[in-house]
Amino acid sequence: MEASDLKQKIDSVFQVQVDANETIRPLEYRKELIQKVLNWILENESKIKDSINQDFKKPEIEIELTEIWFCIKEARYILRNLRRWMKKESVSKTLALISTRSYIIREPKGVVLIIAPWNYPFQLTIMPLLAAIASGNSVFLKPSEKTPNVSSLINEMVLGLFDLKDVAVFEGGEQTVSMLLEKRFNHILYTGGTAVGQIVMEKASKHLTPVTLELGGKCPALVDSSANIKEAAKKIAYFKFMNAGQTCVAPDYVLVDEKIENEFTNEIKKYVESM
């Protein structure tokens, strides 16, 4: 898509979503949208697996566990609890306000931008989408360009389930992200590397847009001499090598009591080889 056409489309959809947020979406409407996503996932598990497999050969059991199951569980959890979450919450009176009634009423932020990563391309796109919908927001969704088959499938899903006023997908790479970040969103959620995270925060700061950044980091594991060494080795190996280590909370290194260093090293070798 030409840059001018992309900008025009972004501007047009953005205005549609801004207008849609002049009224607050009611409970039943939000639940209807969440249910649509849940039903689509349940009916299209094979498509989800195929698209992820085409992008990077992830084992089917891992797709079920780390991509699909999380989203199904999250959608059902939201459907069970959303009514309670949306209720106004009474607040105790202070002396100065003794003759009044005070409440906390949770309202949507408005138009939310979600920029998703490639390492869990379905789960880390759908989970924040479910949260944003549940909160009553409109959503701009930018799947990762590094997983084009999953990105295409998510676009297909959104086009089939949502009006533009509720959710719109913008595929593409750096050009798309740069143009999106010029808009005055009400919240931005980004999952990915720290370098791009800094750019997102810098762009958002110009509009004082609040951001949620989930960035990579170092996650050491600590194993002391009192630990169940076999169990520790098993869990550390599992969570380090799951998704080929491409998980933001994968343990990058282990601090081990020197008394058990050799025993732990031997045990973790066994589990790596068995996997």
Residues annotated as part of the active site = 214, 248
Residue 226, C-beta contacts closer than 8 angstroms, at least 6 positions apart: none
**Helix, strand, coil percent content, the chain, rounded in steps of 5:** 55, 15, 30
CA-wise closest residue to 40 among 129, 115, 105, 102:
129
Distance CA 190, CA 114 (A): 6
Distance CA 249, CA 130 (A): 22
State phi, psi for 5 to the nearest 5 degrees: -70, -40
Do the Cβ atoms of 124 and 117 come closer than 8 Å?
yes
State phi, psi for 216 to the nearest 5 degrees: -70, 160
Q: For the chain, how far is it from start to end, CA to CA, in angstroms?
A: 44
Do the Cβ atoms of 121 and 141 come closer than 8 Å?
no
